[in-house]
């Protein structure tokens, strides 16, 4: 029987299969000493394992670097093989969360930068994060020769910087104009990446209004304190009351030789006098560059009777001196050319009309108004450029327009979202790959949601703000585009610079380039078409498909609108050029959908896949979000999605969304909700374990569901129900200690009520079961199984529903095999290639081969591999001989359940697409951003 032979792959024939043997103590002691070091040499993915320790360390958002002493131990070269075949080893310290001592130094370094007052270059640049996807605030880069500042850090900022070769390590300060998921969603990832840079780790100053403290409190649940010590909030009520100064007086934040940056707080007028709601506070940033002193004219000095010498210097430093030959006092103004006033830049974020009331009355801004200059010309403060982050609805109001007039000839840049940017992909590299994949296999890689935007543009722009209104009223007003610059220095180039704005990339041009590069791709695309066509034709008689494995009965007469699995993010640890971090969208079409994990930028990915409005629909119709574990690459996109859903459903009767996750996530969400309401109901993953469901149901219904994955596995019917707590985490087991801690009862009445609600929601979506089970990765790490309800086939026979397993991050483990037994699809992490099993053990991840073995052991029909290390930027290294039921995932890959039979056959064609790139280590691109510490 198939299953038995598969088992042999997993385990040495000498070892009995059941129960899984995790009981040998010896491997653990061995495995804990395998580790990564932080050396930064760049290796090709196929580096033999004995060299793998030289891989560049990644922040991995876990700070899981081992200490040097352990690295040395490992260097003694203990052979992996010794234990690798009999059972899967894992890093116990990491699994138990005891690797805290390996976290970065207490004080992460702030880079000390030498300043250069005679800056030759300075400019502002619009970083168009979210400009195409409309999901997050753009950022603004304020560039100096030796210093970089960034205003706002929405999701995707890191990925943007990688793509556009902006070095995160050079950024000294991040300023937030507001604190919410739109403007600050990228902060957690940014802090974690910086903390993982270089030997010591780095940090950055983060500034924001007092609400920032709420975000910091929330981040404490998964970001070490050391990474946040340079986070400063200002304008808390306490300071406002203590100081005699006005609430709206500028607060000085940075003042050095090259720039002075101060903040003016903006509260909605209705909250005046009261503390105001969290999240209400907005900030206007004032950036002032010093004047450029005029040139000294030696001829004039001579004419005034001065001899060359020290007096020249005194005059240049602003002192008056006595003439050598005449009886006069020479003043600097007599011998110096006129000085050039330093440019002044404002960044204005006025989110609502009631903030505008406040904006209009800010006294401290009056000295910058043009008519003020007339009354007191000696205090010349001409604003050079204003970047508006205010929304179109506010900007287009007459009051705001009048306020803009105060600034005379200042250049206005409208940086808020505009639909006109939608057609130009901000992340070109991944858009290019998406276009290529779409050409080769449109069925698995549908055209991105943006390509059909013509009608969106024509219908939308009229109704919403188009920028035209402003432009017509203000000749000095311009709509921002990605990478638009405004030069401040050298003075001769003062003004807009559009030279960096990327051009529109037509998909047809990408395909032309592809066909030239790989001519055989044309034939390949045809083959793939026929392959999929063939599968559609033989659908009625699926057993004839040239598949060695019987098609499971759950696929009989399956409809295309039954299920689609959309891989939104397929990379591990941090977003990269080609792969975003983890998220899987389970599309149930008219019945809504679920998100499994939700890394940073998940909303952006949804927008890329379904279009701006299509993604809103997806978010509206979410049934629940399930998070596997607390590592940042799996959940930092959560708040943005929940906040958007809250806004979309405003005024519509609805229930809070169920968020199922590890218990540390609750801590984060509870703290975060003090900042902005997320309209959700949290449920601990443990509450959705099989045992918890059974307890809540008070019957054995779930025993049946969990085992009846596929009728091919007759064995299953007689199998005892999976009981998550009976094996790995059983009483007295090695891992029980952190699985079940006292004081955290999960099986209480309140949980039952929530479970009941969840069950109802799931049933409405056609799902019969959602079961979380523990996996081996870090404390409170889970996998999940989803099962569709039974249905009646064309001949009136009851057939089982499909079953999906998702591993989360894990070492191979018996719970996973057991839970996904007979699954139609297993989505399994495969962070490392087979040669890097040592690395996989140390970090509690799986190799490609191990993932496939788990799927084989569980007798699953199809395996989708995902969560690839970012060292495989485009396509991971894998051994094709084992891939007969497996496919590797790419971002945006959308697998319709009806196409599952042919899925593995598409893989060789996908490989062809990357044939020239398999051996190119494009990691250097990432490395430039990540490892450059200078
Ligand atoms: Zn991960
Ligand atoms: Zn993880």
Question: Which three-class secondary structure string do you get for 824-837?
Answer: CEEEEECCECHHHH
Structure confidence at residue 842 (pLDDT): 94
Whether 478 and 515 map to the same domain: the answer is: no
pLDDT class of 742 with cuts at 50, 70, 90: very low
3-class SS of residue 546:
coil
End residue of a domain, out of 497, 516, 547? 497
Residue 574 CB: number of other CB atoms within 10 A? 28
Asked if 929 contacts 168 with a C-beta cutoff of 8 angstroms, the reply is yes
Whether 723 and 691 map to the same domain: the answer is: yes
* CA torsion, ordered 422, 420, 638, 163, to nearest 10 deg: 60
Whether 480 and 522 map to the same domain: the answer is: no
Whether 759 and 774 map to the same domain: the answer is: yes
Could you read off the pLDDT of 485-534 as tens digits, one per residue? Answer: 999 999 999 999 999 999 887 888 899 999 999 999 999 999 999 988 87
Query: How far is residue 65's CA from residue 56's CA, in Å, rounded to a whole number?
Result: 11
| pLDDT (mean) for 364-371 | 87
Asked if 150 contacts 173 with a C-beta cutoff of 8 angstroms, the reply is yes
Query: How far is residue 332's CA from residue 909's CA, in Å, rounded to a whole number?
Result: 75
539 in any annotated domain: yes
**Nearest bound ligand to the CA of residue 569:** 1
Whether 757 and 856 map to the same domain: the answer is: yes
Give 59 Cα–ligand 1 centroid separation in angstroms: 11
Give 546 Cα–ligand 2 centroid separation in angstroms: 37
Q: Is the pLDDT of residue 933 over 60?
A: no
Asked if 584 contacts 568 with a C-beta cutoff of 8 angstroms, the reply is yes
Query: How far is residue 34's CA from residue 833's CA, in Å, rounded to a whole number?
Result: 16
Q: Is the pLDDT of residue 76 over 70?
A: no
| pLDDT (mean) for 354-380 | 81
Give 777 Cα–ligand 2 centroid separation in angstroms: 7
11 in any annotated domain: no
Token digits of residue 823: 């699954």
Q: Is the pLDDT of residue 736 over 80?
A: no
| Percentage of the chain exceeding pLDDT 90 | 55
Structure confidence at residue 727 (pLDDT): 46
Place of tokens 């707080």: 265
568 in any annotated domain: yes
**Nearest bound ligand to the CA of residue 570:** 1
Ion ligand 2 neighbours (CB, 5 A) are 631, 809
Give 774 Cα–ligand 2 centroid separation in angstroms: 13
331's CB contacts (< 8 A; 6+ apart) are: 320
Give 510 Cα–ligand 1 centroid separation in angstroms: 31
Q: Is the pLDDT of residue 810 over 50?
A: yes
Give 186 Cα–ligand 1 centroid separation in angstroms: 17
- Short-list 288, 210, 216, 293, CA closest to 254: 288
Give 63 Cα–ligand 1 centroid separation in angstroms: 13
Structure confidence at residue 750 (pLDDT): 76
Give 630 Cα–ligand 1 centroid separation in angstroms: 9
Give 201 Cα–ligand 1 centroid separation in angstroms: 20
pTM of the full structure: 0.83
Token digits of residue 624: 């629940």
**Nearest bound ligand to the CA of residue 599:** 1
123 in any annotated domain: yes
- Short-list 421, 419, 384, 411, CA closest to 477: 411
Give 867 Cα–ligand 1 centroid separation in angstroms: 7
Query: How far is residue 151's CA from residue 171's CA, in Å, rounded to a whole number?
Result: 11
Strands 344-348 and 282-288: antiparallel
Residue 447 CB: number of other CB atoms within 10 A? 15
3-class SS of residue 236:
coil
Query: How far is residue 223's CA from residue 233's CA, in Å, rounded to a whole number?
Result: 18
What's the CATH code of the domain at 530? 3.60.15.10
- Short-list 735, 780, 741, 738, CA closest to 629: 780
- Exposed / middle / buried, residue 402 (Cβ in 10 Å: 0-12, 13-18, 19+): exposed
Give 260 Cα–ligand 2 centroid separation in angstroms: 41
**Nearest bound ligand to the CA of residue 571:** 1
Q: Is the pLDDT of residue 754 over 60?
A: yes
Give 376 Cα–ligand 1 centroid separation in angstroms: 60
| pLDDT (mean) for 86-109 | 70
Give 144 Cα–ligand 1 centroid separation in angstroms: 36
Query: How far is residue 777's CA from residue 844's CA, in Å, rounded to a whole number?
Result: 5
* 140 vs 451, more confident: 140
Give 886 Cα–ligand 2 centroid separation in angstroms: 22
| CA dihedral sign, ordered 531, 532, 536, 539 | positive
**Nearest bound ligand to the CA of residue 778:** 2
Give 633 Cα–ligand 2 centroid separation in angstroms: 7
| pLDDT (mean) for 28-55 | 33
| pLDDT (mean) for 142-146 | 91
Give 597 Cα–ligand 2 centroid separation in angstroms: 11
| CA dihedral sign, ordered 331, 334, 335, 337 | positive
Its domain, for residue 645, covers 508-898+907-930
Give 382 Cα–ligand 2 centroid separation in angstroms: 51
Asked if 574 contacts 193 with a C-beta cutoff of 8 angstroms, the reply is yes
Query: How far is residue 287's CA from residue 147's CA, in Å, rounded to a whole number?
Result: 14
Q: What is the C-alpha end-to-end distance of the chain, expressed in Å?
A: 60
Query: How far is residue 704's CA from residue 9's CA, in Å, rounded to a whole number?
Result: 28
Q: What is the rounded average pLDDT for all residues in the chain? A: 80
Whether 516 and 484 map to the same domain: the answer is: no
Give 581 Cα–ligand 2 centroid separation in angstroms: 11
pLDDT class of 292 with cuts at 50, 70, 90: confident
**Nearest bound ligand to the CA of residue 633:** 1
Token digits of residue 508: 């047809």
Ion ligand 1 neighbours (CB, 5 A) are 572, 633, 809
Give 634 Cα–ligand 1 centroid separation in angstroms: 6
Structure confidence at residue 106 (pLDDT): 57
**Nearest bound ligand to the CA of residue 572:** 1
* 282 DSSP assignment: E
Strands 148-151 and 171-175: parallel
Asked if 470 contacts 477 with a C-beta cutoff of 8 angstroms, the reply is yes
- Short-list 505, 557, 521, CA closest to 795: 557
Q: Is the pLDDT of residue 729 over 90?
A: no
Give 827 Cα–ligand 1 centroid separation in angstroms: 13
Lowest mean pLDDT among 431-435, 445-449, 903-907: 445-449
3-class SS of residue 430:
helix
Asked if 686 contacts 651 with a C-beta cutoff of 8 angstroms, the reply is no
Strands 148-151 and 798-799: unpaired
Give 567 Cα–ligand 1 centroid separation in angstroms: 14
Whether 581 and 483 map to the same domain: the answer is: no
Give 32 Cα–ligand 1 centroid separation in angstroms: 19
Give 828 Cα–ligand 1 centroid separation in angstroms: 12
344 in any annotated domain: yes
**Nearest bound ligand to the CA of residue 63:** 2
Structure confidence at residue 59 (pLDDT): 33
Whether 567 and 616 map to the same domain: the answer is: yes
**Nearest bound ligand to the CA of residue 582:** 1
Give 831 Cα–ligand 1 centroid separation in angstroms: 8
Give 182 Cα–ligand 2 centroid separation in angstroms: 25
Structure confidence at residue 1 (pLDDT): 35
**Nearest bound ligand to the CA of residue 776:** 2
- Structural domains in the chain (count): 3
Give 632 Cα–ligand 1 centroid separation in angstroms: 8
Q: How far is CA 508 from CA 63, 454, 635, in A?
A: 43, 16, 35
- Exposed / middle / buried, residue 789 (Cβ in 10 Å: 0-12, 13-18, 19+): middle
pLDDT class of 374 with cuts at 50, 70, 90: low
Give 85 Cα–ligand 1 centroid separation in angstroms: 25
Residue 691 CB: number of other CB atoms within 10 A? 20
* 338 DSSP assignment: P
847's CB contacts (< 8 A; 6+ apart) are: 830, 831, 832, 833, 834, 836, 837, 840
Give 67 Cα–ligand 1 centroid separation in angstroms: 21
Give 582 Cα–ligand 2 centroid separation in angstroms: 10
Structure confidence at residue 711 (pLDDT): 37
Give 269 Cα–ligand 1 centroid separation in angstroms: 44
Give 778 Cα–ligand 2 centroid separation in angstroms: 7
17 in any annotated domain: no
Residue 466 CB: number of other CB atoms within 10 A? 18
Give 631 Cα–ligand 2 centroid separation in angstroms: 5
Whether 235 and 371 map to the same domain: the answer is: yes
Asked if 201 contacts 168 with a C-beta cutoff of 8 angstroms, the reply is no
Give 25 Cα–ligand 1 centroid separation in angstroms: 27
Give 458 Cα–ligand 1 centroid separation in angstroms: 40
**Nearest bound ligand to the CA of residue 843:** 2
**Nearest bound ligand to the CA of residue 64:** 2
Query: 920 - beta bridge partners?
Result: none
Whether 612 and 707 map to the same domain: the answer is: yes
**Nearest bound ligand to the CA of residue 91:** 2
- Exposed / middle / buried, residue 341 (Cβ in 10 Å: 0-12, 13-18, 19+): middle
**Nearest bound ligand to the CA of residue 630:** 2
Give 874 Cα–ligand 1 centroid separation in angstroms: 17
Structure confidence at residue 50 (pLDDT): 35
Give 62 Cα–ligand 1 centroid separation in angstroms: 9
Give 847 Cα–ligand 2 centroid separation in angstroms: 14
Q: Is the pLDDT of residue 833 over 80?
A: yes
25 in any annotated domain: no
Whether 582 and 697 map to the same domain: the answer is: yes
Q: Is the pLDDT of residue 672 over 70?
A: yes
**Nearest bound ligand to the CA of residue 95:** 2
Peptide bond into 287 cis (omega under 30): no
Give 259 Cα–ligand 2 centroid separation in angstroms: 41
**Nearest bound ligand to the CA of residue 629:** 2
Give 615 Cα–ligand 1 centroid separation in angstroms: 24
Give 209 Cα–ligand 1 centroid separation in angstroms: 32
Question: What DSSP line would sit under 145-202, residue for residue?
Answer: SS-EEEE---TTHHHHHHHTT--GGGEEEEE-SS-SHHHHTTHHHHHHHHHTSTTT-E
Give 809 Cα–ligand 2 centroid separation in angstroms: 5
Query: 149 - beta bridge partners?
Result: 142, 173
* CA torsion, ordered 596, 598, 603, 608, to nearest 10 deg: -60
Could you read off the pLDDT of 598-628 as tens digits, one per residue? Answer: 999 999 999 999 998 999 999 999 999 999 9
149 in any annotated domain: yes
- Short-list 666, 636, 662, 694, CA closest to 782: 662
Whether 261 and 392 map to the same domain: the answer is: yes
């Amino acid at each position: 029987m198939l299953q038995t032979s598969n088992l042999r792959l997993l385990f040495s024939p000498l070892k009995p299969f059941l129960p899984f043997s995790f009981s040998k103590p010896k491997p653990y002691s061995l495995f804990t000493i395998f580790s990564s070091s932080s050396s930064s040499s760049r290796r090709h993915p196929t580096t033999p394992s004995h060299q793998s320790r030289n891989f560049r360390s990644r922040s991995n958002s876990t700070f899981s670097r081992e200490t040097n002493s352990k690295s040395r131990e490992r260097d003694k070269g203990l052979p992996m093989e010794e234990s690798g075949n009999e059972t899967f080893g894992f890093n116990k310290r990491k699994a138990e969360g005891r690797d805290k001592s390996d976290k970065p130094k207490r004080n992460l370094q702030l880079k000390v930068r030498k300043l250069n007052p005679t800056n030759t270059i300075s400019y502002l640049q619009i970083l168009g994060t979210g400009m195409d996807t409309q999901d997050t605030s753009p950022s603004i880069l304020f560039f100096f020769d030796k210093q970089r500042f960034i205003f706002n850090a929405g999701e995707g900022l890191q990925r943007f910087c990688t793509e556009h070769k902006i070095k995160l390590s050079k950024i000294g300060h991040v300023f937030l104009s507001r604190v919410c998921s739109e403007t600050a969603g990228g902060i957690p990832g940014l802090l974690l990446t910086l903390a993982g840079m270089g030997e010591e780790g780095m940090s950055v100053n983060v500034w924001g209004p007092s609400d920032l403290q709420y975000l910091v409190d929330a981040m404490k649940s998964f970001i070490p304190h050391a990474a946040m010590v340079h986070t400063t909030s200002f304008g808390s009520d306490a300071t406002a009351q203590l100081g005699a100064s006005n609430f709206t007086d500028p607060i000085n934040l940075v003042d050095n030789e090259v720039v002075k940056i101060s903040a003016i707080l903006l509260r909605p007028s209705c909250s005046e006098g009261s503390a105001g709601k969290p999240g209400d506070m907005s900030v206007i940033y004032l950036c002032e560059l010093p004047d450029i002193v005029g040139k000294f004219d030696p001829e004039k000095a001579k004419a005034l009777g001065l001899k060359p010498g020290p007096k020249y210097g005194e005059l240049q430093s602003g002192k008056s001196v006595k003439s050598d030959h005449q009886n006069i006092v020479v003043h600097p103004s007599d011998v110096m050319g006129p000085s050039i006033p330093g440019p002044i830049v404002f960044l204005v974020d006025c989110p609502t009309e009631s903030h505008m009331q406040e904006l209009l009355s800010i006294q401290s801004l009056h000295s910058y108004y043009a008519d003020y200059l007339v009354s007191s010309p000696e205090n010349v403060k001409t604003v050079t450029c204003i970047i508006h982050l205010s929304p179109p609805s506010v900007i287009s109001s007459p009051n705001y327009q009048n306020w803009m007039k105060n600034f005379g000839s200042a250049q206005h840049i409208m940086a808020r979202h505009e639909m006109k940017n939608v057609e130009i992909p901000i992340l070109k590299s991944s858009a290019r790959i998406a276009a290529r994949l779409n050409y080769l296999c449109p069925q698995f890689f549908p055209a991105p949601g943006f390509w059909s935007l013509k009608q969106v543009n024509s219908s939308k722009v009229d109704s919403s703000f188009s920028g035209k209104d402003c432009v017509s009223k203000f000749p000095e007003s311009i709509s921002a585009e990605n990478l638009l610059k405004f030069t401040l220095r050298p003075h001769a180039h003062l003004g807009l610079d559009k030279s960096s704005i990327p051009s529109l990339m037509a998909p047809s041009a990408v395909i032309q380039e592809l066909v030239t590069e790989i001519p055989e791709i044309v034939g390949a695309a045809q083959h793939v078409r026929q392959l999929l066509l063939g599968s559609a034709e033989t659908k009625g008689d699926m057993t004839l498909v040239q598949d060695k494995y019987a098609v499971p009965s759950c696929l009989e007469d399956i409809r295309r609108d039954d299920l689609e699995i959309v891989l939104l993010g397929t990379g591990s640890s941090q977003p990269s050029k080609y792969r975003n971090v983890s998220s899987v969208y389970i599309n149930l079409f008219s019945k809504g959908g679920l998100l499994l994990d939700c890394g940073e930028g998940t909303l952006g990915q949804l927008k890329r896949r379904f279009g701006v409005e299509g993604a809103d629909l997806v978010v509206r119709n979410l049934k629940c979000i399930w998070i596997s574990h607390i590592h940042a690459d799996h959940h930092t996109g959560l708040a943005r999605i929940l906040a958007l859903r809250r806004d979309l459903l405003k005024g519509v009767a609805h229930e809070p969304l169920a968020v199922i996750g590890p218990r540390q996530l609750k801590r984060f969400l509870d703290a975060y909700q003090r900042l902005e309401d997320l309209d959700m109901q949290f449920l601990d993953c443990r509450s959705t374990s099989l045992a918890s469901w059974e307890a809540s149901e008070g019957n054995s219904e779930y025993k049946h569901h969990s085992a009846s994955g596929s009728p091919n596995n007759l064995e299953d019917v007689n199998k005892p129900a999976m009981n998550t707590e009976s094996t790995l985490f059983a009483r007295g087991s090695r891992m029980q200690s952190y699985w079940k801690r006292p004081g955290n009862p999960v099986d209480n009445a309140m949980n039952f009520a929530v479970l009941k609600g969840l069950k109802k929601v799931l049933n409405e979506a056609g799902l019969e079961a959602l079961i979380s089970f523990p996996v081996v990765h870090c404390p409170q790490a889970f996998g999940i199984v989803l099962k569709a309800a039974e249905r009646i086939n064309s001949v009136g026979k009851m057939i089982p529903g499909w079953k999906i397993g998702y591993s989360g991050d894990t070492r191979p483990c018996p719970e996973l095999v057991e839970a996904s037994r007979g699954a139609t699809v297993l989505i399994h992490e495969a962070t490392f290639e087979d040669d890097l099993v040592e690395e996989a053990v140390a970090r509690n991840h799986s190799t490609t081969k191990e993932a496939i073995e788990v799927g084989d052991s569980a007798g699953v029909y199809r395996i989708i591999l995902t969560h690839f290390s970012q060292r495989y930027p485009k396509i991971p290294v894998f051994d094709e001989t084992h891939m007969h039921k497996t496919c590797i995932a790419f971002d945006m890959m959308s697998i319709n359940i009806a196409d599952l039979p042919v899925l593995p056959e598409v893989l060789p064609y996908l490989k062809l697409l990357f044939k020239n790139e398999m051996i190119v280590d494009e990691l250097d691109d990432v490395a430039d951003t990540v490892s450059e510490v200078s």
